[in-house]
Amino acid sequence: PNLPFTFKRPADWTVQTQAQLTDQSSESLGSFGMTLYAPGTLEEGSGYGGTQLRAGATIVVSVNAKPDYKSIDAYSGSGFDAINREKTNVTVAGQPAVEYLYAFEGPRRIYTHFFKDGKQYTLYYETRWNEQNLKTGDNYKVYQDLVKSFTLK
């Protein structure tokens, strides 16, 4: 698909896309998802349903139409703070964004969200379900580099 963004990633991370596009124009992008897998990533069934990581890491990049949210401030005020920890204000692709740790009954993730032109951009990093500190290691550095290099076209 013709994506409205670019980013840098290591060549040895594999990519799987789940595109739901009405046409190839970024103007009509309804939703899009892309998962990047670190070398050696292993998934297994989770007691909570779905899957969890036994080894490795994933990074997900998604775009969804959110015409009701014009800014990260509106999103952050919608009950969002009740379940999210370690919230930090950051900038991604020149846009105000929020980054936070999510760890509730299963996956432990670091999310980064921002809004632009009626779309919500979400990037998140997930590692092994029992990882105590998500912000360490080479895979976390890949996530940081991806977020820093994320650019809107």
What pLDDT score does 109 carry?
Answer: 86
What pLDDT score does 23 carry?
Answer: 39
What pLDDT score does 145 carry?
Answer: 97
| DSSP symbols for 25-39 | -GGG--EEEEEEE-T
Nearest to 140 by CA among 128, 127, 122, 121: 127
Q: What is the pLDDT along the chain (153 residues), one digit of tens a residue?
A: 677 789 999 999 999 886 554 434 444 456 778 899 999 998 888 776 677 888 899 999 998 887 777 777 666 655 555 455 678 889 999 999 999 887 766 677 899 999 998 888 999 999 886 777 788 889 999 999 999 999 998
What pLDDT score does 30 carry?
Answer: 61
* pTM of the predicted model as reported, rounded to 2 decimal places: 0.83
> Which residue's entry shows tokens 């991370």?
13
